[in-house]
């Protein structure tokens, strides 16, 4: 799934783009088809956070979800691989990302110990795992504050995103809206507040930074911008979709004019207006609304 439609999902647009290009083949192989339900996910025992170094101050964190791996070092650039394919390779589980180089990561382990290999992009699949070093990871009793403060919201969004893609890629607006509410409704009241919408936007901001291989310093700077931008975008969404004015977005408000598309069939007594007059009316209404927004 493309990043921009993902960001649109954070703004609660109820339909996500489902297209995801196939990973290019290697060594004369045909391109691999993208069939999200046809290939195995990362084994459940391997999912979650892994660490290198002391638990109090780890050198690196590796977060595994069903369809992604995010390597988050304490120094240096992050690496995010979202899998378009996973398959077994010589005792390993291989995840393949999208892009020109189709990055790969090999996973092997148990619920308490993990080994990974990140092979060179030019290495053929039939020569895996290759000469790249094996990295060992371990669990920690609790996630250190240095990691949760910087990456907590982003890691939560990364996992939620896979549920959003599953529900919103099936062209069923009802399921998409229900999933957005389920993943974003922190308070559990069945509606979305400005803070809950802003949390989604901050999570998407983190995702973009990780995908761009941001350093911890860059992630921190991005988080600051996401804090302000998230609230601004959330307030804009609230002003745009909160039809009953209660300060929260409900499933019905998100579904307005989207679920049951095309049911309104018009009135035979209507006569077409001049488009010029309609444009003038829309411009006037837009000016009034902009003035109201600026007053808040």
Tens digits of residue pLDDT in 74-129: 999 999 999 999 999 989 999 999 888 899 999 999 999 999 999 988 888 888 88
Q: Which domains does the chain have, with CATH numbers?
A: 20-138 (2.40.128), 145-255 (no CATH)
Q: What pLDDT does 43 receive? A: 94
Q: What is the mean pLDDT of the chain?
A: 79
Mean pLDDT lowest for which of 42-51, 115-124, 217-226?
A: 217-226
Q: Which of 79, 68, 80, 85 has the alpha carbon at shortest distance from 29? A: 85
pTM for the model stands at: 0.73
More confident residue, 214 or 265: 214
With beta carbons less than 8 A apart as the criterion, state whether 253 and 242 touch.
yes
pLDDT at 137 over 50: yes
What is the pLDDT, as a whole number, of residue 198?
Answer: 87
Confidence of residue 14 (pLDDT cuts 50, 70, 90): very low
Cβ neighbours for 228, distance < 8 A, ≥ 6 positions apart: none
Task: Give CA–CA dist 296/288, Å, rounded.
Answer: 13
In percent, how much of the chain has pLDDT > 70? 72
Question: Which of 50-64, 121-135, 196-210 is modeled with the greatest confidence?
Answer: 50-64
The confidence score (pLDDT) of residue 27 equals: 42
What sign results for the dihedral spanned by CA atoms 48, 54, 57, 59?
Answer: negative
Q: What is the average pLDDT across 266-293?
A: 65
**Furthest-apart CA atoms within the chain: distance in Å:** 76
The contacts found for 233-241 with CB under 8 angstroms, 24 or more apart, are 233/11, 233/197, 233/198, 233/201, 234/194, 234/195, 234/196, 234/197, 234/198, 234/201, 235/194, 235/296, 236/293, 237/11, 237/12, 237/197, 238/194, 238/197, 239/293, 239/296, 241/12
**pLDDT above 60: residue 21:** no
Q: Tokens for 169?
A: 């890629």
Contact 36, 166 (CB under 8 A): yes
Strand partners, 104: 96
Q: What is the pLDDT of residue 12?
A: 41
């Amino acid at each position: 799934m493309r990043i921009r439609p993902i960001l649109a999902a954070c703004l609660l647009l109820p339909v996500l783009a489902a297209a995801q290009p196939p990973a290019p083949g290697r060594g004369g192989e045909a391109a691999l088809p993208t069939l999200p339900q046809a290939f195995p996910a990362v084994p459940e025992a391997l999912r979650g956070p892994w660490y290198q170094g002391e638990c109090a101050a780890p050198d690196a964190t590796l977060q595994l979800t069903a369809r992604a791996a995010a390597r988050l070092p304490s120094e240096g650039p992050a690496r995010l691989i979202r899998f378009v394919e996973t398959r077994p390779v010589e005792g390993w589980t291989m995840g393949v990302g999208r892009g020109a180089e189709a990055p790969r990561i090999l996973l092997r382990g148990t619920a308490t110990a993990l080994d990974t290999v990140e092979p060179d992009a030019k290495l053929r699949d039939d020569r895996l795992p290759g000469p790249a070093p094996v990295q060992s990871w371990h669990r920690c009793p609790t996630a250190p504050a240095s990691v949760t403060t910087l990456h907590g919201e982003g890691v939560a969004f990364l996992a939620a995103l896979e549920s959003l893609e599953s529900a919103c890629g099936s062209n069923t607006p009802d399921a998409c809206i229900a999933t957005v509410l389920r993943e974003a409704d922190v308070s559990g009241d069945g509606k979305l507040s400005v803070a809950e919408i802003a949390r989604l936007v901050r999570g998407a901001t983190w995702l973009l930074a990780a995908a761009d291989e941001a350093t911890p310093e860059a992630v921190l700077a991005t988080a600051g911008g996401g804090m302000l931008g998230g609230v601004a975008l959330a307030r804009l969404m609230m002003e745009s979709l909160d039809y009953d004015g209660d300060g929260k977005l409900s499933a019905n408000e998100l579904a307005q004019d989207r679920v049951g598309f095309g049911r309104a069939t018009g009135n035979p007594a209507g006569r077409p207006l001049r488009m010029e007059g309609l444009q003038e009316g829309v411009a006037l209404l837009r000016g009034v609304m902009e003035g109201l927004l600026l007053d808040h």
